[in-house]
Structure 1
Amino acid sequence: MKNILIPVEFDTNTQKLIDTGSLLAEKFHSKIWLIHIAAPEPDFVQYTSGTGPNNEREARALVLKKERKIIQEYSDALNKKSIDSTALLVQGQTIETIMEKVDTLHIDLIITGNNKHGFIYKLFIESVSDEIIKKSKIPVLLVPLDSIP
C-alpha cells in the first residue's frame, strides 16, 4: 500500500481521518494524499447591485486561498512527523474528481468518514462515503464519525 487518499471537508472530523491515515502510513511507509474538492466555478454569475463577476471571482479566490492554506497546514504537519504527504485542492464534482485522482495518483486505499444517520436521512440523501464505496475499485476504509445534529 503505497498511496492513501484522504478526502477532507475541513470539519471537526478531519483530524480523525488524518490520524487514521497517519497510523497506516507509518506502518506501511505509504504516502498520504490529502484532497479537498472545492465547488466548481459557477456557470452563471448573478449581477446584482454592488456585485458583479469581478466581485464574485475575488470572493471565490479568497475562499480558495483560505482552503488551500488549511489543507497545506494539514499536509505540513504530516511531513513534520516524517510522513510523506501532499495537499491537493481541486475544483470539480466531488465523486468524479475523487475517482479521477484515484486513477491518476495510483491510490491503493481511500480513507473517508462515515456518519451515523437514520433511515429517513438515508432515504433522501446519499452520503459522499456511500458514493465512494459504490464507485471505487480499490479498498475504502470507513472511519466512524460522530453525527452532527
Structure 2
Amino acid sequence: MKNLLVAIDRRKDAEELITHAIKMAKLTDAKIWIMHVMEADPDDFLAREAGPQYVYEKRAKERKNASEEIQSWVEEVKEKYSIEIEGLLIQGEVIKSIKNIVEERNIDLVLAGHKKKNLLYGLFTANKKKDLIDDLKIPLMAIPLS
C-alpha cells in the first residue's frame, strides 16, 4: 500500500480519521492524502450576478479557512511523524472528486468516517457512501466516528 486517501467531510471528525491514517501509513510506509471537497462556485457569470455577494464572500472565507486547516494538519503530521503527506481542497461533487483523485494519485485505500447509527441505513438507501462504495475499484475503510 503506497497511497492512502483520507476523505474529510466534517472538520470535527478529521483528526480521528487522520490518526487512523497515520497508524496505517506507519505500518505500510504509505503516503497520506487528506482531501476535503467543497461546493463549487457557479461557473456561469449570470448565476454569480443573480446571487447576493455575501454568499460568495462566505464561501471564499470557508474555502480559505478549510485550506489553512488542511495545511496545518499536513505540517503537524510532517513534524511529528515524518510521514509523507499532502492536502487537497477540491470544489465539486464529492463522489466524482474522490474517484478522480483515486485515479490520478494511484490511491490504494480510501479512509472515510461514518456515524454508527447511519451506516446501515445509508448502505440501503440512495446516498453518497453507497454510491462511493459502488463506484470505487479499491477498498474503502469506514471508520466509526465517536
Tell me by how many angstroms 1:32 deviates.
Answer: 0.2
Alignment correspondent of 2:40 = 40
Tell me by how many angstroms 1:72 deviates.
Answer: 0.9
Counterpart of 2:107 in 1: which secondary structure? coil
Counterpart of 1:107 in 2: which secondary structure? coil
Give deviations 1:11-51, integer Å, cap 9, x for gaps. Answer: 32211111110001011110000000010113534647xx4
Identity of aligned pairs, percent? Answer: 30
- The 3 A distance-change label for structure 1 pair 77 and 120 is closer
Alignment correspondent of 1:98 = 98
Alignment correspondent of 1:137 = 137
Alignment correspondent of 1:62 = 61
Note the residue ranges of structure 2 that are not aligned, 5 or more in a row: none
Give the TM-score, by structure 1 length. 0.83
Counterpart of 1:25 in 2: which secondary structure? helix
Alignment correspondent of 1:22 = 22
- Residue type at the aligned position of 1:89: L
Q: Give the paired residue count.
A: 142
| Greater share of helix | 2
CA contact (8 A) 2:113 2:142 kept: yes
- Residue type at the aligned position of 1:59: K
- Residue type at the aligned position of 1:105: R
- Residue type at the aligned position of 2:88: L
- Residue type at the aligned position of 1:32: I
Alignment correspondent of 1:13 = 13
CA contact (8 A) 2:123 2:130 kept: no
Note the residue ranges of structure 1 that are not aligned, 5 or more in a row: none
- The 3 A distance-change label for structure 1 pair 120 and 86 is closer
Matched residues in 1 for 2:85 and 2:32: separation? 5
- Residue type at the aligned position of 1:79: K
CA contact (8 A) 2:2 2:29 kept: yes
Give deviations 1:65-106, integer Å, cap 9, x for gaps. Answer: 111001111111111120110000010100000001000000
Tell me by how many angstroms 1:119 deviates.
Answer: 9.1
Matched residues in 2 for 1:13 and 1:30: separation? 21
Judge which range, 12-21 or 110-119, deviates more. 110-119
Counterpart of 2:11 in 1: which secondary structure? coil
Matched residues in 1 for 2:119 and 2:107: separation? 32
Q: Does 1:87 pair with 2:96?
A: no
